[in-house]
């Protein structure tokens, strides 16, 4: 049997329907959840992410405002914008689109966002709360990965999850989330990275494999066991003369090769990507609900 394909777009659409209902309920109480997005410069990838976030927020009835700062903006100007959003009660969530110009310290900017409005879950206090298993904003991509697993019938509970990649954005928060003694988590977690010796010996042990390396098709069918559930977070551009753009997007896993061996697999694009924006909306709605209650 070929692997079941887990489409993030479908799961994402389902979650957005639920979110719209929650937004409607908040609005009936006189509260409109608000998201403030800070975009510094005109990096095309950042512009496209920010546009997707704004569109998603509008579609579920949230208030959204994108503050566009010049590419030459100073750290003080970025911090002043965050300060203004921190104080503005219309915004329940604040997102500063990364990367920032090299003279602006991203850690300083993220730590400056008020903890209650940090809907990316990157503030050091939220990172600590996640590790401790306390209620907090959960970083959007790891949150999306877990929701995809649960909603497609592959709960990580009791499973061995092998995560390839240990970034602060994906690998580490995902491990922190999965290792909690909670429903929808409670997994045995292994993290691999470039210091891992004999990567296949670990990936072959995975009931669930999460690839978040940014290394095109490095994980092949020979590196997983029969029946593994594969979540491919990686997004890589590879040259493709047949495409009008001259490139196409592939994941960290050899999707075609794994189709016959995996139990289920996410495509790239159309897998984890759409979930990330949806989880940002979810975090913002949750921040508004916490405030309203």
Ligand X SMILES: NC(=O)c1ccc[n+]([C@@H]2O[C@H](COP(=O)([O-])OP(=O)(O)OC[C@H]3O[C@@H](n4cnc5c(N)ncnc54)[C@H](OP(=O)(O)O)[C@@H]3O)[C@@H](O)[C@H]2O)c1
With beta carbons less than 8 A apart as the criterion, state whether 24 and 291 touch: no
Q: Distance (Å, rounded) from C-alpha 113 to C-alpha 81? A: 10
Active-site option among 4, 9, 24, 53: 53
Q: Where does this chain touch ligand X (CB under 6 A) — which range of 19-27, 62-70, 194-202, 257-265? A: 194-202
Among 41, 101, 133, 214, binds ligand X (CB under 6 A): 214
Contacts of 67 (CB under 8 A, 6+ apart): 36, 37, 38, 39, 81, 85
267 binds ligand X, rule: CB under 6 A = no
Give the nearer residue to ligand X in terms of CB position, either 34 or 271.
Answer: 271
Q: Answer yes or no: 120 catalytic.
A: yes
167 binds ligand X, rule: CB under 6 A = yes
Active-site option among 120, 207, 252, 254: 120
Of 208, 206, 202, which Cα lies nearest the Cα of 153?
A: 208
Give the nearer residue to ligand X in terms of CB position, either 12 or 73.
Answer: 12
Q: What helix, strand, coil percent values describe the chain, rounded to 5?
A: 40, 15, 40
Give the nearer residue to ligand X in terms of CB position, either 23 or 231.
Answer: 231
Among 57, 189, 272, 287, binds ligand X (CB under 6 A): 272
193 binds ligand X, rule: CB under 6 A = yes
Contact track, ligand X, 113-142, x by CB under 6 A: ----------------------------x-
Q: Answer yes or no: 4 catalytic.
A: no
15 binds ligand X, rule: CB under 6 A = no
Query: Distance of CA 171 to CAs 78, 162, 291, Å?
Result: 28, 10, 30
Query: Distance of CA 60 to CAs 38, 54, 121, Å?
Result: 20, 10, 21
Q: Distance (Å, rounded) from C-alpha 131 to C-alpha 188? A: 15
Q: Distance (Å, rounded) from C-alpha 103 to C-alpha 114? A: 22
Q: Answer yes or no: 97 catalytic.
A: yes
Q: How far is the CB of 90 from ligand X (least distance, A)?
A: 27
| DSSP summary character for residue 198 | S
Binding site for ligand X (CB under 6 A): 141, 164-167, 169-171, 192-196, 199, 212-215, 218, 233-236, 272-273, 276
């Amino acid at each position: 049997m070929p692997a079941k394909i887990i489409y993030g777009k479908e799961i994402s659409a389902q979650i957005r329907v639920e979110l719209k209902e929650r937004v409607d309920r908040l609005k009936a109480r006189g509260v409109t959840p608000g998201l403030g997005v800070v975009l510094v410069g005109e990096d095309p990838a950042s512009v496209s992410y920010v546009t997707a976030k704004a569109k998603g927020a509008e579609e579920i009835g949230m208030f959204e405002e994108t503050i566009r700062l010049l590419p030459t903006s100073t750290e003080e100007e970025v911090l002043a914008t965050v300060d203004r959003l921190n104080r503005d009660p219309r915004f329940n969530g604040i997102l500063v689109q990364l990367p920032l110009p090299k003279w602006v310290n991203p850690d300083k900017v993220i730590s400056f966002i008020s903890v209650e409005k940090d809907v990316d879950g990157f503030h050091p206090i939220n990172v600590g709360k996640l590790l401790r298993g306390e209620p907090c904003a959960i970083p959007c991509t790891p949150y999306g990965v877990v929701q995809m697993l649960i909603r497609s019938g592959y709960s990580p509970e009791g499973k061995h999850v092998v995560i390839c990649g240990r970034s602060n954005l994906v690998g580490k928060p995902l491990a922190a989330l999965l290792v909690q003694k909670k429903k929808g988590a409670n997994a045995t977690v292994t993290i691999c990275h470039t210091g891992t010796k004999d990567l296949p010996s670990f990936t072959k042990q995975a009931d669930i494999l999460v690839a978040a390396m940014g290394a095109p098709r490095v994980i092949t069918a020979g590196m997983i066991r029969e029946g593994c559930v594969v979540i491919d977070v990686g997004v890589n551009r590879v040259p493709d003369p047949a495409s009008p753009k001259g490139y196409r997007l592939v994941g960290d896993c050899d999707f075609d090769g794994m189709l016959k061996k995996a139990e289920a697999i996410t495509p790239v694009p159309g897998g984890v990507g759409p979930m990330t924006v949806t989880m940002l909306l979810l975090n913002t709605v949750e921040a508004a609900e916490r405030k309203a209650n």
